[in-house]
């Protein structure tokens, strides 16, 4: 009886010792994992712009949110972020920096008169995000209109080559002095209809109308020549 009781006590002591060792190992793993996630933190930036279309001389207002890419919760690590407006060749034409507090920040930037009409990208990032490459930066497309500089279609030739836009005047021809209905179709390089906003300009590069497809890149507008 005494031997049996002693044997049971030894088994219990061994079990408690093994449990304590396992528990210490789990805590060690958790601590190491927590340290790793802190060092390997991946920030993810979201920026809300006040609108997608601007004229030169206007101000771009924005709000920025810096999140943990893994948990999508606000992260209070970086205290400064940078916002740029870049062209198709990734040249920064406008740059500014703003402060972050508890993962939130806001600011504004003025569009100078030296920028030509066209499509641009707004890019936002922190110094910490540079450790992971520009593919982790926030990017969003905007359009800028400069009514004092004539539009240069050659500057956007590469981008235009990605799309096929065709126009079909009613009756086959536009008649001078008469308002005509013009149908159009726009498809991308995959052969699928695309959504876009088009603008009609006169000989003085002045906007006289805009148009958008209704569905699958197909639509129509009226114009008087």
> What is the value of pTM for the model shown?
0.53
Please check whether residue 156 lies inside any domain of the structure: no
Residue 8 lies in a domain: no
Percent helix, strand, coil in the chain, to 5, is 25, 40, 35
pLDDT, tens only, 5-21: 445 555 555 554 555 55
Joined together, the tokens standing for residue 212 give: 């958008």
pLDDT digits (tens, 9 = 90+) for 154-208: 555 555 556 778 888 877 777 777 888 888 888 876 667 888 888 887 766 777 7
Strand partners, 38: none
Same domain, 128 and 197: no
Q: Taking 90 as the threshold, does the pLDDT of residue 74 lie above it?
A: yes
Same domain, 126 and 190: no
Flag whether 152 is in a domain: no
Task: Quote the percentage of the chain above a pLDDT of 70.
Answer: 73
Domain that holds residue 198: 162-224
Question: 83 burial class (0-12, 13-18, 19+ CB within 10 angstroms)?
Answer: buried
Residue finishing a domain among 145, 176, 197: 145
């Amino acid at each position: 009886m005494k031997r049996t009781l002693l044997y049971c006590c030894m088994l219990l002591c061994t079990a408690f010792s093994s449990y304590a060792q396992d528990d210490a190992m789990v805590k060690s793993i958790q601590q190491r994992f927590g340290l790793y996630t802190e060092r390997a933190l991946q920030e993810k930036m979201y920026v809300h712009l006040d609108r997608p279309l601007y004229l030169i001389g206007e101000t771009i207002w924005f709000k920025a949110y810096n999140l943990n890419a893994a948990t999508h919760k606000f992260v209070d690590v970086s205290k400064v972020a940078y916002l740029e407006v870049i062209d198709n060749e990734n040249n920064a034409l406008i740059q500014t920096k703003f402060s972050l507090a508890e993962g939130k920040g806001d600011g504004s930037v003025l569009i100078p008169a030296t920028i030509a009409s066209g499509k641009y990208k707004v890019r936002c990032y922190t110094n910490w995000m540079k450790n992971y490459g520009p593919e982790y930066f926030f990017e969003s497309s905007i359009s800028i209109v400069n009514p004092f500089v004539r539009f240069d279609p050659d500057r956007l030739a590469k981008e235009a080559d990605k799309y096929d836009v065709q126009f079909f005047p009613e009756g086959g021809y536009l008649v001078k002095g008469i308002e005509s209905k013009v149908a159009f179709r726009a498809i991308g390089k995959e052969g699928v209809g695309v959504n876009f906003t088009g603008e009609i300009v006169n000989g003085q590069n002045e906007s006289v109308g805009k148009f958008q497809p209704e569905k699958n890149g197909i639509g129509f507008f009226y114009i008087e020549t």
